[in-house]
Amino acid sequence: MRQTENGMFGENPFKLGIFSPNCSGGMAITTVPERWDASWGNNVKLAAVLDNVGIEFVLPIARWAGYGGSTDFQGSSLETVTWATGILAKTKTLTVFATAQTAFFHPLVAAKQFATIGEIADGRFGLNVVCGWNQPEYEMFGLKLSDSHDERYALGSSWLNVMKKAWSKDGPFDWKDSFFNIKNGQCSPKPFLNDLPPIMNAGSSAQGQSFAAQNCDFLFTVMLDIPSGSEMVKNIQAISKREYQRMIDVFTTTYVVCRPTMSEALEYHHHYAVDHADWPAVDKLMELMGMHAHSFPRDQIASLRTHFAGGHGVYPLIGDPDTVADEIERIAMAGFGGISMSFVNYLKELPFFIQEVIPRLENKGLRIPTKRQI
């Protein structure tokens, strides 16, 4: 049995979520004064809006250090497990993810944290497993980021298997492999209704995709364009079915600039992501991602500089409501089950998206019509 009450498994054909509101700047690397202030108060206000309008999920970024520049982009961030626990206590329908970095959280600590969250969440918790790329954070913890993606994801598998064992085994258990040496491991309480929460992995490398195909309900991956995104979804779902006899849903991440007209949207994008980009922070992020992550092809990453300033390099949804809704429809037709979205200022910009774009998605059959109260 899955946690069917969790919105990630709910009835909307195409799911929507919000990404990175726990981090200063959100996903936009800009100096404009309205850039996102990731205060607790703002996060609670945002969560209330999401809860009221039936957006399925909110996903934080686990970040321990910023990227410098004049804004120190993402330099202030609310820790994801404590953040998720508080947001869950304040909401009623929203799925709230916490992010666990496999190198920094012992799986038995994580198993207990997430079983506890499950009780608070009444089945609305989701787990994002992150297998690592940000080398300065590893140095901060005195750890070495493995150069081998195989090893990073082997640790991820072992970590997840220890957690699942702790969640499913009634008595104590021992565990020994090259990553963990556990004697009399145990975890009580067990997850909510003895069932696993939705588990997602975010990774674009072949190893990341294969790890998700084997272990996760959702893969979040970066999409450069719709044709390559469509190919990627087909490949991942084929691997999952052929090699692991299971289904996986693939989501991608986007940033949104939606305005009444196309020219207003383009002008605002140019304003915050070109004229007022925090370029030193953009370059720092791109350098680190280029060196240690496979999210973006190395030969193409330089061409994405404006999109990094606009929203961390992920897929841009820029335009009037018709254009944005059409683009989301193309993403759905490519086989993706949903998207995460970010805005320069989530609280100021989301109401327009909810009023103008969501009804268009409903008309396209991508969302079930609902009454909304913003």
**Between 202 and 265, CB nearer to ligand FMN:** 202
Contact stretch for ligand FMN (CB under 6 A) within 130-138, 232-240, 297-305, 364-372:
130-138
Q: Applying CB under 6 A, does 253 fall inside the site for ligand FMN?
A: yes
Q: Which of 22, 205, 210, 240 binds ligand FMN (CB under 6 A)?
A: 205
CB of 315 to ligand FMN, least distance (A): 11
Q: Which of 27, 111, 127, 293 binds ligand FMN (CB under 6 A)?
A: 293
Q: Applying CB under 6 A, does 23 fall inside the site for ligand FMN?
A: no
Q: Which of 22, 85, 113, 204 binds ligand FMN (CB under 6 A)?
A: 204
The 3-state secondary structure of the chain reads CCCCCCHHHCCCCCEEEEECCCECCCCCCECCCCCCCCCHHHHHHHHHHHHHHCCCEEECCCCCCCCCCCCCCCCCECCHHHHHHHHHHHCCCCEEEEEEECCCCCHHHHHHHHHHHHHHHCCCEEEEEECCCCHHHHHHCCCCCCCCHHHHHHHHHHHHHHHHHHHHCCCCEEEECCCCEEEEECCCCCCHHHCCCCEEEECCCHHHHHHHHHHCCEEEECCCCHHHHHHHHHHHHHHHHHHHCCCCEEEEEEEEEECCCHHHHHHHHHHHHHHCECHHHHHHHHHHHHHHCCCCCCCCHHHHHHHHHHHCCCEEEEECHHHHHHHHHHHHHCCCCEEEEECCCHHHHHHHHHHHHHHHHHHCCCCCCCCCCC
Q: Taking CB under 6 A as the criterion, which residues in 133-162 touch ligand FMN?
A: 133-134, 149
Q: Which of 25, 126, 156, 203 binds ligand FMN (CB under 6 A)?
A: 203
Contact stretch for ligand FMN (CB under 6 A) within 9-17, 128-136, 327-335, 351-359:
128-136
Q: Taking CB under 6 A as the criterion, which residues in 330-359 touch ligand FMN?
A: 340
Q: Tell me which residues touch ligand FMN (CB under 6 A).
A: 61-62, 99, 101, 130-134, 149, 202-205, 207-208, 220, 222, 253, 293-295, 340
